[in-house]
Structure 1
């Protein structure tokens, strides 16, 4: 489960970058996730990508007074922009540069891409049906951000009796924190206590490569 590793979140010129946020924590995820995906494909695992994106008229972003719409106004949802590649684009709008997966992690043939219009990848999407058709029961999570889209999807996965495993070094957070508070660590703690498990990508890669070799 590759959660929202898209240009709006992790690339220069994307939504978070335009909002003045430090996107380096998300950019730092790209190399370890790339290594994990390579091992996962060798082991024959299903790779599922998610993209948070909306219709160009924002008709699926909630009413004007909905929490989702209100909270995204400061992030310029739906704003027309010129992407770094020169194309005309829109913030958090599907079929644009902004919502494309970052090039280094681009989906490959056979991968599944889920378009979602809320934080959870299970909300009003075919994800649950896709996983159950394939008899999946364990989901390995990577991506961003830890406390919002990753956590929202993990919680919904737990409620549907999947077994979520979140990789600590392949998830990241942009919400400002001081020495006493970390949304990233708080989410990992909650998952470890009640919603699933956490692990390091190196351990998972080692297991996957051993399985592929076997």
Structure 2
């Protein structure tokens, strides 16, 4: 085991070994955080997710300098939606109103499809684009552990701590955090690098409720500045 560093967090400080820590970038893709993507086309205010790009980029810069593994996830499906469940499956039903599989024209003029892999819609936003050496996980449910190689990849690299950023807090982030906890990973969710959308017919956010549940029973939460400070200490020691 390498040197351990401490992060100021809730409900108490949490330590991490940089050689065994990864940053999980959850679903920062056009469908969720860009104009012309699924959420925007559905009439939702995507500004909470747009505002995540800058703080996440700062965390990723510090993490790369400290030598941490970066893992991206994308929620996406086959073009025929064969991996989205049958017609009676909750996943298919809940996404029907979000126009899953709909053919659209992307802002760049290309033909695209909502939540379909290998299209503009499911590409990571350019400002946070994966770099060589990063891992990209394609998932077809909210949790990045469901029917993906994520667990095997992390265990092969002896990863034990996961720092979470991305969207949305109460759905894909929390789903993945819960599955990580069940597998004995140590999740740390960054409060200012995760966000929740507020729909017109549901004028409240689950962001704080999810963070509270995570702090109580599933892991820890922290601010990006405190994580960056700890990562700078790792870089300085190296």
**TM class by shorter-chain length?**
over 0.9
Q: TM-score of the superposition, structure 1-length normalised? A: 0.98
Once the two structures are superposed, residues 120-157 of structure 1 have per-residue CA deviations (whole angstroms, 9 ceiling, x without a partner) of: 00000000000000000000000000000000000000
How far off is 1:210 after superposition?
1.2
Distance 1:92 1:116 in 2: 11
Given that residues 145 and 151 in structure 2 are in contact (C-alpha distance below 8 angstroms), is that contact kept between their aligned partners in structure 1? yes
For the pair 1:87 / 2:110, whether they are aligned, the reply is: yes
Number of the residue aligned with 1:169 = 192
Provide the C-alpha distance between the structure 2 equivalents of 1:174 and 1:67, rounded to a whole number of angstroms. Answer: 20
Give 3-state SS (helix, strand or coil) of 1:185's partner. Answer: helix
User: How far, CA to CA, are the matches of 1:43 and 1:198 in structure 2?
Assistant: 20
Q: CA deviation at 1:175?
A: 3.5
**Structure 2: tracts of 5 or more residues without a match:** 1-23
1:49 equivalent in structure 2 = 72
SS across alignment from 1:32 = helix
Q: Which residue of the partner structure matches residue 157 of structure 1?
A: 180
Secondary structure of residue in 2 paired with 1:169: strand
User: What secondary structure is seen at the aligned counterpart in 2 of 1:182?
Assistant: coil
The answer to whether the aligner puts 1:110 opposite 2:133 as a matched pair is: yes
With structure 2 as the length reference, what TM-score do the two structures score? Answer: 0.88
State the shift of 1:32 in Å: 0.1
RMSD: 0.8
Q: Counterpart in 1 of 2:53?
A: 30
SS at 1:47 equivalent? strand
